[in-house]
Amino acid sequence: MSNINERFKIEHIAEHEIRSRLEPLVTLIERLISLYDRTSNAIADHPQPGAATKIGLILTDRLANDLRVCLLTSQLGYGLQALVLAGTVVEILGALSYVGTNDGRAVSWAKHTDHRNTYPPKVADGREATLAALGISDPAVSDNWKQAYTFMCMAKHANPFLSMLHGLRIKSSGAYFASGPDCSDLGIHMSARALWYTVGFGTFGVHVALDHCSDDALQAQFSAEAISINERLRSLEPWYLEVIGPESPLKSQKEASALSSEAQRLESETDRLRRETKRMKQETHSLRHETRKIRRARRI
């Protein structure tokens, strides 16, 4: 990117392209964000008594904001970064579920001061708490959630495989470095996954959050709307699978082969530099040795 104005222009183009190609998911997450706003207001206006509701409202508002930022990031062509936010949504949902309506855990959450670890300390504890809150006991569902979160963490922790695939692109003329907004097939793939995960896990967050609302009518209304959004998401699965596959850039043999070749070239270049460095060290050593001989000869 030569300047910030050029980046803005490309982001605008990416937003139009991605919103057009992922319109069903964009529409769903916008519905979900609206539902979160109303859910937060319902909890604030009709709170259950106790510390847990206060923490529940904090985490629900955080989820609403992360959903919004994930949408904006996905649309602007930063799908890899949006996946990072999707992973955070899973973690916040886990904390919301783990605290639940337990005032003791709410106090522990509020008093937590460990900068190295979060609360609960294990993501698995939050995942299992969410499944329990939703009444889901199928181990296969837990495994599916774990696999999805693992993929999000590939983006979150800069896993070399995903980073290499995203940052080094292959075309007929060779490899090139990718930077800035991305509305290529791979970019669409990343944005689609981020939105899919965020909507799916986000709807579960509404169900958990509503335990902090004392208005039964609003609970029933918003819960039904969350179910409707999730059902709509599931109905889109055939379309979604077409978007991310079967010719997914993540699974393409051509891409894998090309990236493997690039990795081998990097390895060869590293070996060449290592040999060159060794040769230069040897020459330097020889020069120092000759210099010492000349100095000794001059003293004589």
Q: Which residues pair with 174 in a beta bridge?
A: 171
Helices 185-209 and 139-156 sit at what angle, rounded to 10 degrees? Answer: 130
Q: Which residues contact 112 (CB under 8 A, 6 or more apart)?
A: 118, 119
CB atoms within 10 A of CB 251: 11
Note the pLDDT tens digit of each residue in 173-189.
Answer: 666 677 788 888 888 99
Which amino acid does the sequence have at 250?
L
The pTM score is: 0.81
CB atoms within 10 A of CB 64: 22
What DSSP character marks residue 48? Answer: P
Tell me which residues of the chain have a pLDDT lower than 50: 1, 259
Q: What is the pLDDT of residue 288?
A: 79
State the alpha helices, DSSP H only, in 236-252: 237-244
Helices 139-156 and 160-167 sit at what angle, rounded to 10 degrees? Answer: 60
**Short-list 141, 129, 132, 124, CA closest to 105:** 129
CB atoms within 10 A of CB 62: 16
Length of the chain: 300
Q: What percent of the chain has pLDDT over 90?
A: 65
Q: What is the pLDDT of residue 1?
A: 46
* CA distance linking residue 220 with residue 130, whole number of Å: 19
- Residue extents of the structural domains in the chain: 4-251, 253-300
